[in-house]
């Protein structure tokens, strides 16, 4: 099965990359854009018979795929 993981910067963390892209979008004729936040999107192929899949995926998201100090994550199946 394919699992999708979204990793996004926490609201309190400055996202200069997102701000630069927002500025570019405004320059390119979309002054209506007020904010852009850039995160990561991962597609993971995994055997859906894997025991304790949900909890193991959550552990990996917490320990490896995101840094809880600065990022939130969401697992989408």
Q: Which residues bind other proteins (CB under 8 A)?
A: 9, 12-17, 20, 40, 64-65, 67, 69-70
The smaller minimum CB distance to other proteins, of residues 16 and 51, is found at 16
At closest approach, how far in Å is the CB of 49 from other proteins?
25
The smaller minimum CB distance to other proteins, of residues 8 and 15, is found at 15
Instruction: Report which secondary-structure segment, H or E, holds 71.
Output: strand 71-76
Q: How far is CA 18 from the centre of its chain?
A: 13
The smaller minimum CB distance to other proteins, of residues 12 and 28, is found at 12
- Rounded Cα gap, residues 7 and 9, in angstroms: 7
Q: Give yes or no for a contact between 3 and 57, defined as CB atoms under 8 angstroms apart.
A: yes
């Amino acid at each position: 099965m394919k699992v999708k993981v979204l990793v996004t910067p926490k609201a309190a963390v400055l996202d200069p990359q997102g701000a630069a892209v927002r500025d570019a979008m405004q320059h390119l004729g979309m002054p209506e854009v007020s904010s852009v936040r850039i995160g990561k999107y991962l597609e993971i192929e995994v055997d859906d018979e894997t025991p304790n899949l949900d909890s193991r995926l959550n552990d990996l998201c917490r320990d490896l795929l995101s840094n809880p100090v600065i990022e939130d994550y969401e697992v989408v199946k």
